[in-house]
Structure 1
């Protein structure tokens, strides 16, 4: 019998199936500018849920409120029953992250946001030229991991007030080309930088962060998971040439060869999916109440990833690595979170 869920599962079908778990939720999603997966996820929930099954509130984040206003407007237009709020946050600036977290925790927001049921750390950058964050960290590690690490921990009080709090970290199968470079996460200030290895490192960090959260706070009711959404043409790879002979595929093949992996990203073997398919794993991991036994795990194609089948690499699934990354991240952001 084929699995119930696979790479062909559609997000709209899962939204209908998990409607009871979506109803009444307060949801915060990072990276919700139009055409991105975060925006597709939020607008699909709005379009596919009846007023009595809709989330109570969706909080949309982006570098500026103007950048996410179209997503807010689309949600309001398709389902007026859903309240929305917008939050400006630049994940490449720890100062901006602290300011955003302070607003979420403020008395000003206390009435509308007494708790947060679901946090989806969706925002990210991919395989970009070498750059640094406002604090001088390599940009992919800084934006994809450190910004989310700080923000999540700073609003943890709001999460733990929910009946069944959940954190979802959007990783990628690209984690296979980048374990954490413990002695040099910054690539010698760019001197030995490889855009795909840096991306892989940041995606490994996403997996390890979810695992660490589950280990540290699972006893307090927190669920935390990581996932690979699949392949979809968003603004994430806008500076890459994805043609058959383009730099994106060729440079990724080169790194895969170094790591002894299959020649190219598995997602491309199956081809790019559509908007309904790319949100399926987001919906599955965010609202499925039957995955609690896999707390801290990484999900691919709407199922728990099998390490024996190379669906998740060992360095992204190690409790030792997760604890080590937690300590490194605390040191880099300059704040401890001793749960």
Structure 2
């Protein structure tokens, strides 16, 4: 739950001097979503360029039109994170933009939640591909542009759902779907988002590169991300299957449910995006997992050790390189 009531728009005023003049690339910017609220919120602070990326270019166009109306320069990018070939094509396009010599902030916001089994074009769990492998490859392929920034940042959007599963190194693909569980898959992918931020901070957070990376939990937000799920009403099968996983994992929420948890708007849900991307002091905590515009506290928040471990992060980095078929030596 996001307990900070400030909106992304309000934080953009607070961080106006940090936002002004920046080039920001955000994935997953469909209207009504958190990504769209984030770019709309920071537009008023006069960034130099907002690059809006998404699989459905018609939806990206809608958000681009709304942001352009503020007078901010916008560029669109078609990006299908499920397909590694499509990711490479999108990265090639970004790298070909000679008039965009650097990118200051990359927000890996796009993702899916608890979808049914479907193999990606390369044969991987589509949820893992969309939520981790695609962003991992895209981030690293455009790293040259990021490192041209004097103080680059990468923000990975994760979830409290990382509690549902550590990364399943021995069976990340669920025996090619034979033993698939949509919630275990979701949990594993959200854990991966956090571990990737840890790795980026450790590999590129030196004085030479000065890259900062964070993972962000936006809270329960009213968007269409879970519109396909059966969570409430007479047929709450998806809610019950998530509860079963929570109970098996020993998570208290498996018995307490979501009592007292209040959903927030996308404008409030994206406030921690703004904090992670522009707060001048949070860089002292490179690699941190952020909630409600603060560092998550394992005493009061759900912070599973499997998602913050440097050892697990390095294991995942090496596996991810293998799965995407390319090494990135930093």
Is the TM-score greater than 0.5?
yes
Report the CA distance between 1:234 and its aligned residue.
Answer: 1.7
Residues 146-183 of structure 1, C-alpha deviations (whole Å, 9 max, x = no match): 00000000000000000110000000000000101110
In structure 1, the partner of 2:134 is 147
In structure 1, the partner of 2:211 is 222
CA contact (8 A) 2:23 2:48 kept: yes
CA contact (8 A) 1:11 1:277 kept: yes
Instruction: Compare 244-253 and 156-165 and name the one that shifted more.
Output: 244-253
Aligned 1:263-278 pairs, distance under 5 A: 263-264=253-254, 269-278=260-269
Report the CA distance between 1:65 and its aligned residue.
Answer: 2.3
In structure 2, the partner of 1:189 is 176
CA distance in 2, matches of 1:32, 1:64: 9
Residues 287-319 of structure 1, C-alpha deviations (whole Å, 9 max, x = no match): 111101210110111111122445310000000
Q: Tell me the TM-score normalised to structure 2 length.
A: 0.95
In structure 2, the partner of 1:86 is 76
Instruction: Give 1:136's match in structure 2, choosing from 99, 120, 123.
Output: 123
SS class of match (2:107): strand
Aligned 1:11-50 pairs, distance under 5 A: 11-46=8-43, 49=44
| CA 267–305 in structure 1, closer or farther in 2 if over 3 Å, else same | farther
1:232 aligned to 2:229?
no
Q: Tell me the TM-score normalised to structure 1 length.
A: 0.92
CA distance in 2, matches of 1:136, 1:44: 37
Q: How many equivalent residue pairs? A: 325
Aligned 1:84-163 pairs, distance under 5 A: 84-106=74-96, 109-111=97-99, 113-163=100-150
CA distance in 2, matches of 1:236, 1:159: 28
In structure 2, the partner of 1:170 is 157
CA distance in 2, matches of 1:232, 1:241: 17
Instruction: Compare 311-320 and 299-308 and name the one that shifted more.
Output: 299-308
1:248 aligned to 2:238?
yes
Instruction: Give 1:75's match in structure 2, choosing from 67, 71, 79.
Output: 67
Instruction: Compare 16-25 and 258-267 and name the one that shifted more.
Output: 258-267
CA contact (8 A) 1:118 1:167 kept: yes
CA distance in 2, matches of 1:283, 1:249: 30
CA contact (8 A) 1:33 1:62 kept: yes
Instruction: Compare 278-287 and 93-102 and name the one that shifted more.
Output: 278-287
CA contact (8 A) 2:32 2:266 kept: no
SS class of match (1:58): strand
Report the CA distance between 1:190 and its aligned residue.
Answer: 1.0
In structure 2, the partner of 1:296 is 287
**Runs ≥4 in structure 1, deviation > 3 angstroms?**
264-269
CA distance in 2, matches of 1:253, 1:312: 18
Which consecutive residues of structure 1, in runs of 5 or more, have no partner in the other structure? none
SS class of match (2:277): helix
In structure 2, the partner of 1:212 is 199
Which consecutive residues of structure 2, in runs of 5 or more, have no partner in the other structure? none
CA distance in 1, matches of 2:201, 2:48: 25
| CA 268–163 in structure 1, closer or farther in 2 if over 3 Å, else same | farther
